[in-house]
Amino acid sequence: MPTKTTCPSSQVSDDEQKQKRENTRSLTMSGHVGFESLPDQLVNRSIQQGFCFNILCVGETGIGKSTLIDTLFNTNFADHESSHFFPHVRLKAQTYELHESNVRLKLTIVNTVGFGDQINKEESYQPVVDYIDAQFEAYLQEELKIKRSLFNYHDSRIHVCLYFISPTGHSLKTLDLLTMKSLDSKVNIIPVIAKADIISKAELQKFKIKLMSELVSSGVQIYQFPTDDETIAKINASMNGHLPFAVVGSMDEVKIGNKMVKARQYPWGVVQVENENHSDFVKLREMLICTNMEDLREQTHTRHYELYRRCKLEEMGFTDVGPENKPLSLQETYEAKRHEFYGERQRKEEEMKQMFVQRVKEKEAILKEAERELQAKFEHLKRVHQEERMKLEEKRRLLEEEIIAFSKKKATSEIYQNQSYMASGSNLKKDKDRKKISNAQVLEGGSKRASESMRAGSLVYRAQLEGESRRARESLRAGSLSYRAHPLPQH
């Protein structure tokens, strides 16, 4: 693809150019050498390679985009009718290979599907902007590759945007202004008034003037046909005055006189697509395809792509001049950038280290505080436990004393109780006395032992006592019965 790779004008200063011109001497040759065939060589090479051209059609669904493209290239691209109910705008690209004489054209038509059908208008134009940027980005990536193949690369950058305006006769819609404003620095915009056959000639003229003044007042830059080439300057200048073109599209053919022409037939007459009194279709075709296709391609590369590339590289930190406006080579910029990056990385590492140390210190202080609190709590509990233990020891001692006193009292009371039974029987009494005395001795001895064994001893003793007293009562009852049976003789 014969793309010009000129440097951005900012790179080479006017002074440098002047100096170069002064260093170059103009000479005449005494005979034919042959480099006059260079343009032919270029043409041949280009024809061999073929050309590529990419058109973006932006406009509401049903405005006549597909019909116009079919009419422009005089073929049926068989684009399906689009629905109005897509939730998002989608860009549909289709590439075709066309031949005319011995020239091959790789034509890509990109259509905006669902444009203007959403309530949120921002969602309508943003995908278009993103698509154009994506094509620039793909080209830039190919350019930046070590092993690049731009020679046979399929360039998908958009060369022209045909912007379809509704033939309302009023003014531009907000969406149209917003979209064109966000696209004008990225692509060559050619505005067209679609379906121009549905607006009267007088209204159309007024509408054109109004549209142009709205575009100018909104600061929208549309594509201007170039006037720097003498051969086409006149026609291009006059065509610039006809913008925006009012077009009619149709693939239907109607017989006019003895000729079949593309037209739209109505009950009241025929609108001929190629009749300049009926529409600007021919002007558009001439300007777009015959006269300015190469300029559109060149403008895309040298203006729009260069701007994208410059912004992108600057974003990445590359620059042509260093501090004090000194020119910087790519290598120097790279080294400076690398240096800056390492410095930044070291600074960040240092920052992170300091932050880590600070965090550790903070954590340590928190842990130490927690440990101190725990220790204090432990000491407190230990003290409380000690006091509790001493209190319990005291209680135990008192209880043991009480038990001893109680046991003594009990033993004495048992002795008194036994003495009262002595009258009941001497044998029994002697026995009992002995037992009680021994029991009392046992109790007395036992009271000096631990409280538990004392209590156990006293229980055993009480059981024994009860046994004895029961036996005593029974023998008493038996004695009284025998006395009743054999009473002593009364004197």
Sketch the per residue contact string, 447 through 486, with ligand GDP: x for CB under 6 A, - otherwise: ----------------------------------------
- Report the 10 Å Cβ neighbour count for 451: 16
Closest CB to ligand GDP among residues 263, 440: 263
Q: Which two tokens stand for residue 172?
A: 């531009």
β-strands 259-266, 269-272 pairing: antiparallel
Closest CB to ligand GDP among residues 74, 375: 74
Sketch the per residue contact string, 139 through 158, with ligand GDP: x for CB under 6 A, - otherwise: --------------------
Cα distance from N-terminal residue to C-terminal residue, the chain: 170
Distance CA(299)–CA(219), nearest Å, equals 19
- Residue of 155, 176, 184, 197 that binds ligand GDP (CB under 6 A): 197
Q: Restricting to residues 417-436, name those near ligand GDP by CB under 6 A.
A: none
At residue 425's C-alpha, the angle toward residues 423 and 430, to 5°, is 95
- Residue of 157, 159, 186, 195 that binds ligand GDP (CB under 6 A): 195
Within 166-274, strands assigned E span 189-193, 245-246, 253-256, 259-266, 269-272
Closest CB to ligand GDP among residues 249, 457: 249
Closest CB to ligand GDP among residues 61, 292: 61
The strand pairing partners of 262, in sequence order, are 253
Closest CB to ligand GDP among residues 91, 443: 91
Residue nearest to ligand GDP (CB): 64
Kindly state the number of chain residues that form the binding site for ligand GDP, as judged by CB under 6 A: 16
Burial pattern 354-388, b for ≥16 Cβ within 10 A else e, equals eeeeeeeeeeeeeeeeeeeeeeeeeeeeeeeeeee
> H or E element: which one contains 53?
strand 51-58
Q: Restricting to residues 38-77, name those near ligand GDP by CB under 6 A.
A: 59, 61-67
Closest CB to ligand GDP among residues 195, 297: 195
Q: Are 156 and 133 in contact (CB under 8 A)?
A: no
Binding of ligand GDP at residue 300 (CB under 6 A)?
Answer: no
Residues 6+ apart with CB under 8 A from 104: 47, 50, 51, 97, 98
Binding of ligand GDP at residue 278 (CB under 6 A)?
Answer: no
Closest CB to ligand GDP among residues 63, 411: 63
The nearest distance, CB 265 to ligand GDP, in angstroms, is: 11
Binding of ligand GDP at residue 82 (CB under 6 A)?
Answer: yes
At residue 346's C-alpha, the angle toward residues 342 and 347, to 5°, is 115
Question: Which positions touch ligand GDP (CB under 6 A)?
Answer: 59, 61-67, 81-82, 195, 197-198, 248-249, 264
